[in-house]
Amino acid sequence: MEHKLVDHLFRHHSGKMVSVLTRIFGLSNLDIIEDAVQDTFIKASISWRKEQPEYPEAWLTKAAKNRVLDIFRTLKAQKNNLPDITQGTDAIAINELFLDSEIEDAQLRMIFTACHPQLDPRDRISFALKTVSGFSTKEIASALLTKDETIKKRLIRARKAIQKSAIQFNIPQGKDLYARLESVFEVLYLIFNEGFHSNNKAQLIREDLCSEAMRLCKLLLKHKQTRLPESYALFALMCFHSARLPAKTSVDNEVLDLKQQDRTLWHFPLIQLGNTMMHKAVETEDFSCYHYEAAIAAEHLRAHTFKDTNWNKILQWYEALYALQPMPSHLLTMAVICIQNKDYKQADSYFKQLLPQDLEQRAYLYYAAKADYYMVINDMENALTFIDKALETVTNSLEKDFLLKKKTDWLKSTNSF
């Protein structure tokens, strides 16, 4: 039980500690800081075997403050020009940096550091999950379907880029802020999306990733400079999608599509929160891709049953989204919507603009959608060909079972005639 508690606290508080200590000692000492925080939690796991503290979070915060002094002594031995933080006004300032508002500010600085344009886009999400969210290298590798060694290389590369470019641990101002925010939004969106529809072989939903993306997005909403319509729209989108998580799989851990989901399981308070966020998000004349995606998610939630879905409205939002962000995944979804609308000619037109490899790791979605298309136009031979291709390329075992069940049902329906 103690190990589970320590693991939980490490996930939720190590990022806070790393951010605060980085604000004190600078990005150049990030390796020492991360080692110190890890040591703190190892100490906790040993100490708490005998007796768990009454206030675990307060214990860890106090331990982190003590580690400040340990780090200071280490660095003092290496560098003679450091200020004396063990007494006087500097010591008072250190304590103030552990106030809740200052911890949030430090974490926001770390998010912007992780999303700096000098960092390779492939490295940003790994660096953010490690430094801001406290994910281990192994957890990041699992979330991103990558080898541990690859993640280690990405983290090393990110740190080298920070040192080489002398990146500052701050929140950018003016035009630089808005330019950097695009990268921040993208990283948070990717973290959430990996949780909502994971590429992990054994797990379709990673609620820890969804929760972490939402927590980081909340930090943007708490800061005056980053409390923007796009921030509200992204958070609304996360609320709408998270509201459907309880219904995405059955009690037998089977994947359920929108048509099969029990809508009474959708979490209404999150839908309400999402609606509140959307009201704030639309206080602008310029809509972002997150505005349109949130509008699409809200439209699905608005339908009491699958048959009540306003596919024309959803297609309208997708067309606007595609105009702003011409991505293959949007084209595929538009084809699927046309199938629902029985506009098979238009669906085929969208399919012809796509290649399976355009969707990279999610190429199976193309094959599965094409199989559905052939099934509704009564071309069973091609339907089975494409669903077999989907089964060959899908990585998630739950989704594979879902597709296999669909194929079995098709064969049964054919044999019954």
Residue 194's pLDDT is what?
79
127 and 92 in a single domain? The answer is no
Instruction: Quickly tell me which residue has 């949030």 as its tokens.
Output: 104
Evaluate if residue 387 carries a pLDDT over 80.
Answer: yes
Model confidence pLDDT, tens digit, residues 79-120: 555 555 554 445 546 667 677 778 888 889 999 999 898 899
Q: Is the pLDDT of residue 148 over 80?
A: yes
H-type alpha helices, 51-147: 56-78, 88-96, 100-114, 121-131, 137-143
332 Cβ contact list (under 8 Å, min separation 6): 350, 354, 359, 365, 366, 369
Q: How far apart are CA 127 and CA 134, in angstroms?
A: 10
Rounded Cα distance between 304 and 325, Å, is 29
Output the pLDDT for position 153: 95
Based on the fold, state whether residues 115 and 213 are members of the same structural domain: yes
Instruction: For residues 130 and 19, give the distance between their C-alpha atoms in angstroms, rounded to a whole number.
Output: 11
Does 343 lie in the same domain as 404? yes
Residue 72 within a domain = yes
Predicted pLDDT of residue 129? 87
Domain stops at, among 98, 122, 152: 98
pLDDT band with cut points at 50, 70 and 90 for residue 134? confident
The verdict on 383 and 307 lying in the same domain is no
Question: What's the whole-number average pLDDT of the chain?
Answer: 86
The string of pLDDT tens digits covering residues 26-67 is 888 888 888 888 888 788 778 887 788 888 877 877 777 777
At 199 the pLDDT is 61
Q: Which residue has the higher pLDDT, 25 or 150?
A: 150
How far apart CA 304 and CA 271 sit, in angstroms, is 13
Asked if residue 177 has pLDDT above 60, the reply is yes
Claim to verify: residue 222 and residue 114 sit in the same structural domain: yes
More confident residue, 367 or 413: 367
Same domain, 303 and 259: yes
Asked whether residue 154 is domain-assigned, the answer is yes
Same domain, 280 and 349: no
Q: Please tell me the distance from the alpha carbon of residue 417 to that of residue 412, in angstroms, as a whole number.
A: 9
Domain shared by 122 and 207, yes or no: yes
255 strand-pairing partners: 249
Phi-psi label, residue 375: left if phi above 0, alpha if psi -120 to 50, beta otherwise: alpha
Give residue-wise pLDDT tens across range 331-355: 999 999 999 999 999 999 999 999 9
pLDDT of 414 > 60? The answer is: yes
Residues 127 and 70 grouped into a single domain: no
Res 186: pLDDT: 87
Residue 120 maps to a domain? yes
pLDDT digits (tens, 9 = 90+) for 219-256: 999 988 899 999 999 999 999 999 999 998 887 778 78
| The pLDDT of residue 236 | 98
pLDDT digits (tens, 9 = 90+) for 350-370: 999 999 998 888 899 999 999
* Structural domain includes residue 134: yes
Q: Which of these three, 322, 351, 379, is where a domain ends?
A: 322
Phi first, then psi: what are they for 110, rounded to 5°?
-70, -35
Residues 208 and 249 in one domain: no
Whether residues 120 and 220 share a domain: the answer is yes
Residue 193 burial (10 A CB sphere; 0-12, 13-18, 19+): middle
Count of CB atoms within 10 A of residue 234's CB? 30
* Domain end marker among 201, 227, 253: 227
Which domain, by its residues, includes 16?
1-98
User: Is residue 132 domain-resident?
Assistant: yes
Read off the CATH number of the domain in which 411 is found: 1.25.40.10
What pLDDT, in 10s, does the model give residues 248-285?
Answer: 888 777 878 888 999 999 999 999 999 999 999 999 98
Decide if 255 is inside a domain: yes
Report whether pLDDT(330) > 70: yes
Domain count, the chain: 4
Asked if residue 155 and residue 44 are part of one domain, the reply reads no
Distance separating alpha carbons of residues 60 and 63, to the nearest angstrom:
5
Give 4's pLDDT tier (boundaries 50, 70, 90): low
Cα–Cα dist 154/138, whole Å: 13
Q: Give the predicted TM-score (pTM) of the model.
A: 0.82
Q: Is 103 among the domain residues?
A: no
**Domain assignment of residue 349, yes or no:** yes
Q: Where do we find the tokens 């098979």?
A: 344
